[in-house]
Amino acid sequence: MTSGGDAPGMNACIRAVARACQYYKLECFGIMQGYEGLINDDFIVLDARAVRNIINRGGTILKSARCAAFRTKEGRAKAWNNIQKHEIDALIIIGGDGSLTGGMIFQKEYGIPVVGIPGTIDNDIFGTSKAIGFDTAVNTVIQAIDKIRDTASSHNRLFFIEVMGRDAGHIALNAGIAAGAEEILIPEQEQGIENLIKTLKYGKKSGKSSSIVVVAEGDKTKDNVYNLAQQIREELPGYDVRVSVLGHIQRGGSPTYFDRVLASRMGIYSVEILREGKSNVMIGIQLDKLVLSPLKDAIKGKSAINKNMVRISKILSV
Ligand code: ADP
């Protein structure tokens, strides 16, 4: 099943799981709409041909949902009935930390083997350097910023660009560096409006005619991006300040090569480790090797921001 926020590459992962099952002569079901489908008995057969022509598609053919009922014992009891009815031996859950938490609780209650695969554009899962969908989202953001830069530089404007990331600045930091942002505001770092003003003033003095500031949704200024821009307008009259909120374009789109290959590797590995009798783990990638961590660690841990990347962004915007 896919659960929680959708991410590009989820389809490639579903395809890999279905194909690996066929390869190893295992029966595979897809559960529609995450835990909602598990409770409502919405299952489909996923043989190798059922997943044709989806490796290139964003979103998820199994659909995704947020399911309040699965947070209750009664909801999970209904889900367990359906698992028994279909004689399901194990669950593979592709999603964010909320989805993996649900899986861990279900496993503890009923003993069903669970394998988690990290799928989230926010990349905020401990135990993996990359989650499925992150690479595509960063590339989408870069393309959008490149386009905005054309306008920023033609009109000598200062642009505030808000990107996704309520609790994690991975998209902002990576896309900001790759798209040449002057300043990057992320939830993990207290930056302070004074420092931002200093940077912008210095930039103008040193000959910059336009600037781009990338702001993660949850940045530490705790203000919405429009108010932040207004504050800068007041502090720095003479700057032509504009705001662009990228929004949901960041979630969709055809997955990059990286996400397709990562999703394919993780999908196949999930079936292989279940065959070896391993479960209650999340698959991650570290230094290009697939690794396993206990589900409870993946959920509890926080994916730290790479401090060196913060340093790099400062050097590059001198
Ligand atoms: P994500 O997986 O992207 O982090 P959510 O946090 O919305 O997304 O979680 C997806 C779903 O996982 C929830 O709608 C719920 O059904 C299930 N879930 C999350 N946390 C729990 C929990 N503590 N107990 C049971 N189910 C949970």
So which residues are the catalytic ones?
122
Mean pLDDT, residues 7-30 taken together: 98
Structure-token pair, residue 33:
């709409």
In this predicted structure, which of 73-82, 102-111, 173-182, 208-217 has the lowest mean pLDDT? 208-217
Identify the residue whose C-alpha is closest to ligand 1 atom 19. 98
The whole-number pLDDT of residue 142 equals 98
Compute, in angstroms, the gap from residue 289 CA to the centroid of ligand 1: 27
Q: Are 187 and 220 in contact (CB under 8 A)?
A: yes
- CB of 267 within 8 A of CB of 20? yes
Say whether 48 sits in a helix, a strand or coil.
helix
Give how far Cα 219 sits from Cα of 138, 140, 180, 187, 291, Å.
17, 20, 19, 4, 31
pLDDT (tens digit per residue) in 238-268: 889 999 999 999 999 999 999 999 999 999 9
Give the position of tokens 């007041």. 234
User: Taking 70 as the threshold, does the pLDDT of residue 280 lie above it?
Assistant: yes
d(CA 184, CA 179): 11
Closest Cα to atom 5 of ligand 1: 98
Convert the pLDDT of each residue in 123-161 to its tens digit.
999 999 999 999 999 999 999 999 999 999 888 889 999
Residue 105: CB within 6 Å of ligand 1? yes
CB atoms closer than 10 angstroms to residue 48: 14
Phi first, then psi, for residue 145 (nearest 5°) are -65, -40
| 98 alpha carbon – ligand 1 mean position (Å) | 4
CA distance 99 to 35: 9
Q: Are 141 and 154 in contact (CB under 8 A)?
A: no
For residue 222, what pLDDT is reported?
Answer: 67
Under 8 Å between Cβ of 166 and 187: yes
Cα gap 10→299, rounded to integer Å: 19
22 lines ligand 1 (CB under 6 A): no
Q: What is the pLDDT of residue 46?
A: 97
Predicted pLDDT at 207: 83
Instruction: Give the closest residue (by CA) to ligand 1 atom 20.
Output: 98
